[in-house]
Amino acid sequence: MRHLRLLVALVASFVAFSPLHAAEDYSGTIKIFKTSPVVKPYFDTAYGYAVFPTIGKGAVGIGGAHGKGQVYRGNKVTGYTSMTQLTIGFQLGGQAYTQIIFFEDKRAYDTFTSGNFEFGAQATAVAITAGATAQAGTGGGGASATAGGGQAGKQESSYSNGMAIFTYVKGGLMYEASLGGQKFNFKPAN
């Protein structure tokens, strides 16, 4: 338990003192995702979404990640969320990334905003990178991407259990082959 507390403190320090951790810019993060031709259509069709401008991740064998975000329905903030992740496996390094989670319908939104929610180790995200297009898979939420000007083909729905996850790496270098789920807490806006 002592090692776990030390690891969480280490990850929190990485996020807090990282040059990538400026004042959280939610509108800027949303704008980044809206520039992706893969992600943009979700803004028009999703019931709501959660945005995390910066999630810091670090590991030496045992890893952790943490970030704070806002939940939207329409274009209005409905609450605040935080994400914590612990992983076990071969991993080394540190990384900062942004993440957005789209809710396909009211059921998915209500599930996420029920207070505490957790993605299992089988959940996957589509990585959006500069100069790349991505194609979301169906069923398991898997993804593939092609770099440069290549065509990823027709986009298919990447909703898995009513949610679609996209990430964008801001910086850092991390190697990992690990298992672990993301846990979310939610507090409604006043």
Beta-carbon-side half-sphere exposure of residue 41 (alpha carbons within 13 Å): 11
User: pLDDT at position 136, please?
Assistant: 36
Which pLDDT tens digit goes with each residue over 83-130? 998 887 777 888 888 999 999 999 999 999 998 888 766 567 787 765
Instruction: Convert 14-44 to b/e letters by CB count within 10 Å (16 or more is b).
Output: bbeebebbeeeeeeebbebbeebebbeebee
Cβ atoms of residues 50 and 70 within 8 Å:
yes
Handedness of CA 110, 30, 168, 138 (dihedral sign): positive
- Give the tokens for residue 17: 């003192």
Q: Give the C-alpha separation, 110 to 107, whole Å.
A: 5
Cβ atoms of residues 65 and 83 within 8 Å:
yes
Amino acid letter, 181: G
- pLDDT at residue 152 greater than cutoff 70: no
Higher pLDDT, 105 or 145: 105
Cβ atoms of residues 86 and 64 within 8 Å:
yes
Which pLDDT tens digit goes with each residue over 52-68? 999 988 888 788 889 99
**Using alpha carbons only, what angle is made at residue 97 by residues 27 and 137, rounded to the nearest 5 degrees?**
95
Mean pLDDT of the chain: 75
Domain ranges of the chain: 2-188
Q: Can you give the pTM of this predicted structure?
A: 0.73
